[in-house]
Amino acid sequence: MSTTAPATASTASPAPATVQFPEPMPVPDRVINAIVAAALAEDNPAGDLTGNVLIPAGATATADVVAREPGICAGLSVFAAAMKLTDPQLVVSPALADGQSFAAGDVLATVTGAARSLLAGERVGLNLLQRLSGIATLTRGFVLQAAGHRARIVDTRKTTPGLRALERYAVRAGGGHNHRDNLSDAVMAKDNHLALLGTGAELTAALVAARARLGHTVHFEVEIDRLEQLDAVLAAGVDTIMLDNFTLVDLAEGVRRIGGAALVEASGNVRLDTVAAIAATGVDIISSGALTHSVRALDLGLDLRITGAAA
């Protein structure tokens, strides 16, 4: 699909006008339903007291999810799950697809059915859709800033507990990619690990020994925070070397010295106003925790109108 960057504070300029983005890999329905069911149980443990005393049981309504600001859509299936798990008779009709851009005033989806049910599911559905669309919008800004270079924009494990699957989906909807999913997904030796492994030849030997214990499909990444560590790590034959909080000059030197022997990841000080320069150093991957831990939820509203009175 071809989309453009919305003109919001979450995206910076200049940026390419049009970039192709693949359809994001979806989250399984069972995962979405489990997360949404827990959120509904938290918000509505014993019925919506307000709706039950104010809204007639037979009243029906139609509600539009309306954007109050521009952005990138992510989480329509999550919003739909919030509605359907509240009331299976509610009908949710998306007006666009995840990963597409929208303008202020655009309708993202329409819901029809029992008015009480619409109001009971509104907050959970909107909370998740707003957060996920905020993540997708911010990610799209990073991706567009890095366009024209080889670097992928990826997230980190700095996600909201319990929402990782959804937040990482939103990164994909924004055109970004995912880092390791969890601690069981790959080996990633960070500064605190290396502090226990020694330096120089001792560090190389420790990494080689660790690699020998792994299956051939397991990815092995090592983080370093200064160029003096590079030779020892490079000699171990790891798959990815993360250059953490390096200057632009040192990033470019790291890329040159690694010379394609491993993937090069840049991390630290990654912002919308720095990501283009980081990408220009030739790194393969740029990771940013801010995509998920510091994002602002987009302003989306549910505009409801009664379509049928109680019998």
Are 62 and 83 contacting, i.e. CB atoms less than 8 angstroms apart? Answer: no
CB atoms within 10 A of CB 26: 13
Has 269 been labeled as part of a binding site? Answer: yes
Has 311 been labeled as part of a binding site? Answer: no
Has 288 been labeled as part of a binding site? Answer: yes
Q: Report the amino acid identity of residue 163.
A: L
Tell me, what DSSP letter sits at residue 203? H
Q: Residue 196 is encoded by which pair of tokens? A: 């226990």
CA geometry: angle 85, 108, 127, nearest 5 deg: 50
Query: Any residues with CB less than 8 A from the CB of 127 and at least 6 apart, and which?
Result: 39, 297
Task: Catalytic residue, from 43, 64, 87, 158: name it.
Answer: 158
Matching residue, tokens 């890095």: 146
Tell me, what DSSP letter sits at residue 229? G
CB atoms within 10 A of CB 68: 12
Task: Catalytic residue, from 43, 64, 87, 123: name it.
Answer: 123
Has 158 been labeled as part of a binding site? Answer: yes
Has 157 been labeled as part of a binding site? Answer: yes
Has 268 been labeled as part of a binding site? Answer: yes
Has 180 been labeled as part of a binding site? Answer: yes
Q: In the annotation, is 244 catalytic?
A: yes
Distances from the Cα of 119 to the Cα of 61, 103, 298, angstroms: 10, 25, 20
Q: In the annotation, is 158 catalytic?
A: yes
Has 140 been labeled as part of a binding site? Answer: no
Task: Catalytic residue, from 64, 244, 253, 299: name it.
Answer: 244
Task: Catalytic residue, from 43, 87, 190, 250: name it.
Answer: 190
Has 190 been labeled as part of a binding site? Answer: yes
Has 281 been labeled as part of a binding site? Answer: no
Q: Residue 59 is encoded by which pair of tokens? A: 């009243």
Q: In the annotation, is 84 catalytic?
A: no
Distance between CA atoms of residues 117 and 120, nearest Å: 5
The count of C-alpha atoms lying within 13 angstroms of the C-alpha of 193, restricted to the half-sphere facing its C-beta, is 13
Has 29 been labeled as part of a binding site? Answer: no
Has 156 been labeled as part of a binding site? Answer: yes
Distance between CA atoms of residues 113 and 89, nearest Å: 7
Q: In the annotation, is 123 catalytic?
A: yes
Q: Residue 243 is encoded by which pair of tokens? A: 């250059």
Has 290 been labeled as part of a binding site? Answer: yes
SS3 percent helix, strand, coil of the chain, rounded to 5, is 40, 20, 40
Has 215 been labeled as part of a binding site? Answer: no
Binding residues for substrate: 123, 156-158, 180, 190, 223, 244, 267-269, 288-290
Binding residues: 123, 156-158, 180, 190, 223, 244, 267-269, 288-290
What residues act catalytically?
Answer: 123, 158, 190, 223, 244
